[in-house]
Amino acid sequence: MAARLRTLMDLDFSGFNRPVVFLRLDLNVPLKAGVVTDETRITAALPTINWLLEKGCRVVMCSHLGRPKGDGYEKEFSLSPVGEKLAAHLGKEVLLCGDYLMDGFDRIVQQLAPNQLVLLENLRFHKQEQKGDKDFAKVLAKGMDFYVNDAFGTCHRADASMVAVAEEFPLERRCAGLLVQKEIDFLEGAFRNPQAPVTAIFGGAKVSDKIAILQKFTSIANNMIIGGAMAYTFLRYMGHNVGKSRVEEDKLSLVGEILRAAEARKVKIILPVDHVCATEFAEGTMPITCNTADIPDNLMGLDIGPRSSAIFADAIRSSKVVVWNGPMGVFEWDAFATGSRSVAEALAQCEGSTIVGGGDSAAAIVAFGLADKVSHVSTGGGASMELLEGKELPGIRVLRAAL
């Protein structure tokens, strides 16, 4: 049994006058021409920020954004637009700081007014961040009293700000924020002693991206629904013609292992029985419905068909626990979004515990306006899947209290 996760409720601020909190957030939001196009991760961070402010803390926020080279400032990856959104939501001044590695930064923090917060410029402007560099961590932690991690989407990475900075603080002065606590409670709790039937829905492009989670759920789920491009590798293994659809030929033997494990454990594998296809992979292409599990040689599958949608939805609605990771098709294109939408609607109608496992699934259910109709939408794609696989995430391990 894993040690207990330390939370904000475990922090003791007595003896500190306006304590300084190093707050790691996941503000890795999409930007277009310098404008934030999805504020989900920003609004998800607000409860922890406000909790700390109400306790009289001085808050130093930090995050990464995108994939800069790590050799210094790059305008397109600046957190400046994010800081502006945070300021608007919080009604406080957010000071963006790019010189936080310079001598004297800790003295600047000590002078913060109650209506001010600091946001450190993109951590990944420094290559030491992703290397987990301990000297880099020491500089980041200088002058800080407490460490709070509310960046669930990065907890599966051992970046300096996720692990080495936390280790600069004694255990009693580090903990998870409200978002991380919520993620752990849902993702670990839902499968601790789940009530049957449990249904896992997997989609997306590649079987290879989901090998471990597919194998894990053959011992957890009663039903495993397979959609998206990965379904065509399963169908090919089972002898179906999949036309020009994407197939991972080198993963066919692995598919066989997964199917045999599911059969041995009496897990029902549910695959598409019809498809929405096209002659080419292009947004404006004409959708063509194939009414059988087989796809003609000149077509490629880009979504599940109407009969598959109905079968999938029936299994979802009758379940007690459902987890969804990966869209059923190219949901970004209206002509091929119907399958993913039907899964999202079935989740919204399910009376059991429903979890959307981050990434494209989270983007889809938000786009369909149904995020508030499910039990939990994870903010971390990779992190949520690794947690469900049973892995101990590096960013969580350092927040565990000894039992």
Q: Is 41 a catalytic residue?
A: yes
Indicate the Cα dihedral angle 81, 61, 371, 231, nearest 10°: 90
Cβ atoms of 229 and 255 within 8 Å: the answer is no
Cβ atoms of 150 and 26 within 8 Å: the answer is yes
How many other CB atoms are found less than 10 A from the CB of residue 121?
Answer: 21
Please identify which of the residues 134, 142, 206, 268 carries the catalytic annotation.
Answer: 206
Beta carbons within 8 Å of 62's beta carbon, 6+ residues apart: 22, 23, 24, 25, 119, 120, 123, 140, 161
Q: 226 by DSSP, 3-state: which?
A: strand
Please identify which of the residues 227, 357, 358, 359 carries the catalytic annotation.
Answer: 359
Q: Is 189 a catalytic residue?
A: no
How many other CB atoms are found less than 10 A from the CB of residue 379?
Answer: 25
Among candidate residues 358, 382, 40, 26, the one with its CA nearest the CA of residue 177: 26
Please identify which of the residues 6, 41, 157, 341 carries the catalytic annotation.
Answer: 41
Among candidate residues 385, 302, 312, 379, the one with its CA nearest the CA of residue 337: 302
Rounded (10°) angle between helices 80-90 and 40-54: 50
Which 8-state DSSP code applies to residue 153?
A: G
Distance CA 210, CA 391 (A): 14
Among candidate residues 331, 301, 323, the one with its CA nearest the CA of residue 377: 323
Q: Is 382 a catalytic residue?
A: yes
Please identify which of the residues 66, 70, 143, 382 carries the catalytic annotation.
Answer: 382
Place of tokens 């399958």: 339
Q: 19 by DSSP, 3-state: which?
A: coil
Q: Which positions are catalytic?
A: 41, 206, 359, 382
